Amino acid sequence: MGEEIEKRPLLNVKEVTKTFGGVTALHNVDFQVAQNEIVGLIGPNGAGKTTFFNIIAGNIRQDRGKIYFEGRNCTHLRPFERCRLGIARTYQAVRPFMDFSVEQNVMVGLCYGRREEPKAGSNIDEKGRKILELLGLEGKRRELTKNLTLVDRKLVEVARALATSPKLLLLDEVLSGLNPVELEEAVKLIKTLSKSFGFTIIWIEHIMKALLTVCDRFVVLHYGSKLIEGKPDVVVSDERVMEAYLGRGGMRLAERLRQSYSSAGGNESDAFG
């Protein structure tokens, strides 16, 4: 897979830097993602993860660096132009159209997203229904989004993103605020969606157990710089990552947890759970 990424990445971010006043949010970040990869973007609070998503989606402009999508330079494209190329995102603080129904939110994505070649017998209603059914929202299609629970609002936001027909989906902490049962169902759903639609995912999440079951690779940001990237089991056991998340005192606790899990035949990565 490494050779494939180098030959033709779906997304290729080169030396992206962004400052806010005297604070450097991102510094010379290089980032590549291959077609159909699921990459976990992790790091402690304030590491620059959401800023990175905002730059990829075009919500803010970087100070320096370039962004290529499918080999095309989209550095200066506006958000809706990037969406029509196939880049969609969700937000940590959910942003569906609250006064729209669930169905209307999906229609926005269908109308303003990527233009696909029409398939025989296909139509907008059919595609919208499929998305709502996969997300368990078919029975709530006519309800106003503002009347839904937080979980369902998150699903509406995902549905709207899916309706744009993304090639790349940016998920920003879609699991935050969910209880353990909801978490398990959401992880299963993301796996199903990835297989059903065949898109690439970059996923910001603090719930490491969830990422470990889904992601092919992790990229770690720390103070706006890329700290390390690689296979999930390698990354989470790296001392630099442990220190970035936990500090030196936390590393000593993590070491005791690893030893206890090892003696019990558990998985070391559970220490992050």
Q: What is the 3-state secondary structure (H, E, C) of 200-254?
A: EEEEECCCHHHHHHHCCEEEEEECCEEEEEECHHHHHCCHHHHHHHHHHHHHHHH
* pTM: predicted TM-score of the whole model, two decimal places: 0.84
Asked if residue 82 and residue 206 are part of one domain, the reply reads: yes
Q: Residue type for 22, please? A: G
Residue 7, phi-psi category: left (phi > 0), alpha (psi -120 to 50), beta (remainder): alpha
Tokens of 248: 């030196």
pLDDT (tens, 9 = 90+) of the chain, 273 residues, equals 444 444 679 999 999 999 999 899 999 999 999 999 999 999 988 999 999 999 999 999 999 999 999 999 999 999 999 999 999 999 988 888 999 999 999 999 988 887 665 444 445 578 888 899 989 999 999 999 999 998 899 999 999 999 999 999 999 998 888 888 888 888 888 888 888 888 899 999 988 888 888 999 999 999 999 999 999 888 988 888 888 876 665 556 666 666 665 665 555 444 444
Q: Which of 164, 182, 217 is the last residue of a domain?
A: 164
* Count of domains observed in the chain: 3
Q: Is residue 91 part of a domain?
A: no
Backbone torsion region of residue 217, taken as left when φ is above 0, otherwise alpha when ψ lies between -120 and 50, otherwise beta: beta
Q: How far apart are CA 240 and CA 263, in angstroms?
A: 24
Do both 268 and 151 map to the same domain? Answer: no
Specify whether 153 is located in the same domain as 217: no
Give helix then strand counts, H and E, for the chain.
10, 10
The answer to whether residue 92 sits within a structural domain is: no
Q: Which of 144, 164, 184 is the last residue of a domain?
A: 164
Domain that holds residue 158: 98-164
